[in-house]
Amino acid sequence: MTKTVAILNGPNLNLLGRRQPEIYGAETLTDVETRCSDTAAGLGLETCFFQSNHEGEIVEAIHRARDEAAAIVINPAAYTHTSVAILDALNAFDGPVVEVHISNVHKREDFRHHSYVSARADAVIAGCGTQGYTLALHRIATLLED
């Protein structure tokens, strides 16, 4: 059976391509999702997508992924730097997790240098722009083969 990768995005990423293109690029979230499903199909994977501006909704999406997905790609956005709840939810998920940041958080303000989610992530991609999501899918494909 084809394995599904849940691609989860946190607060304000629904604005991708509409504001701050110098930091986050010109692609909209829909553009990114379309490219992810094409890339995943080429890797023999399926995708499902979820974006929310609410922490609890992201926690619930991770819970759903326990039954519905073999792996998670997550950009928790600002919750990266604050959310023990998202870390705890990811710790209850069994498959591979790749954390993605569009910008290079390490070149930015100090408060963006710490990630709660990195304590669980199998890989972290930062600073590759929206290409980071498809790079993450390639890594997931390798991890799911192992």
Interacting residues with ligand CA2 (CB under 6 A): 12-13, 15-16, 19-20, 24, 75, 77-78, 80, 101-103, 105, 112
Nearer CB in complex with ligand CA2: 13/70: 13
Q: Which residues, at least 6 apart from 131, have a Cβ–Cβ distance to it below 8 Å?
A: none
Tell whether residue 103 is among the known ligand binding residues: yes
**Contact, 130 vs 104, CB < 8 A?**
no
Nearer CB in complex with ligand CA2: 17/144: 17
Closest separation in Å from C-beta 134 to ligand CA2:
14
Tell whether residue 18 is among the known ligand binding residues: no
Question: How do beta strands 123-126 and 97-101 pair?
Answer: parallel
Q: How far from each other are the two terminal CA atoms of the chain, in whole angstroms?
A: 16
**Contact, 91 vs 111, CB < 8 A?**
no
Closest separation in Å from C-beta 77 to ligand CA2:
4
Quick check: is 24 catalytic?
yes
Radius of gyration of the chain (CA): 14
Residues identified as active-site: 24, 101
Q: Which residues are annotated as a binding site for substrate?
A: 75, 81, 88, 102-103, 112
